Amino acid sequence: MKAALGCVRLGQFDITIRNVSQSGVGGQSPHMLHIGERLTVYLPGHDPMMGTVRWVVEQRFGIETDVEIHPGRLRGALGEGLTTADGKAEFQIVPAPRISARRPGLGIAPSPFTGGGIGRR
């Protein structure tokens, strides 16, 4: 889902939220955030809230918010466009891809010492 962050260093900018819990959010930003940086988090259905960046990997981040996030408010603000982890999804078994582990150029060829075995052709 789309949301926004604001801070003194970068101003306000749009982000993509990938996961939400009652104590924070994880997502992706167009900017590199800094661990420990204080931000304002703008989530649909919520008043702006302060948060602290807890982890960063390139443009991905995790923010712990100072106040509780209410998933029900997010669902209400976004309608049917929100997919939750507790929602039902169709389970499907997908077979593993079939690959050959045979290396080209290797095969069974007569050995000059034993008359058989593995060697180059």
Q: 23 near 54, Cβ under 8 Å?
A: no
Asked, for residue 44, whether it belongs to a domain, the answer is: yes
Encode the chain (121 residues) as per-residue pLDDT tens digits.
Answer: 899 999 999 999 999 998 888 899 999 999 999 999 999 999 988 999 999 999 999 999 999 999 998 877 877 776 655 444 444 444 445 555 565 656 666 666 666 665 555 555 5
The dihedrals phi and psi of 78, each to the nearest 5 degrees, come to -100, -10
What number of other Cβ atoms are within 10 A of residue 85's Cβ? 9
Q: What's residue 68's pLDDT?
A: 92
Q: Would you give the end-to-end CA distance of the chain in angstroms?
A: 57
Asked, for residue 114, whether it belongs to a domain, the answer is: no
Per the DSSP assignment, residues forming a β-bridge with 56 are 61
**Which residue type sits at 72?**
G
Asked, for residue 64, whether it belongs to a domain, the answer is: yes
Q: What's residue 40's pLDDT?
A: 95
**Angle 21-27-28 from CA coordinates, rounded to 5°:** 175
Asked, for residue 62, whether it belongs to a domain, the answer is: yes
Question: Does this model's pTM top 0.75?
Answer: no
Q: 65 near 49, Cβ under 8 Å?
A: yes
Token pair 């060697």 is found at 119
Three-state DSSP class for 38?
strand
Q: What CATH number is attached to the domain comprising 67? A: 2.40.10
Asked, for residue 24, whether it belongs to a domain, the answer is: yes
Count of structural domains within the chain: 1
Per the DSSP assignment, residues forming a β-bridge with 7 are 11
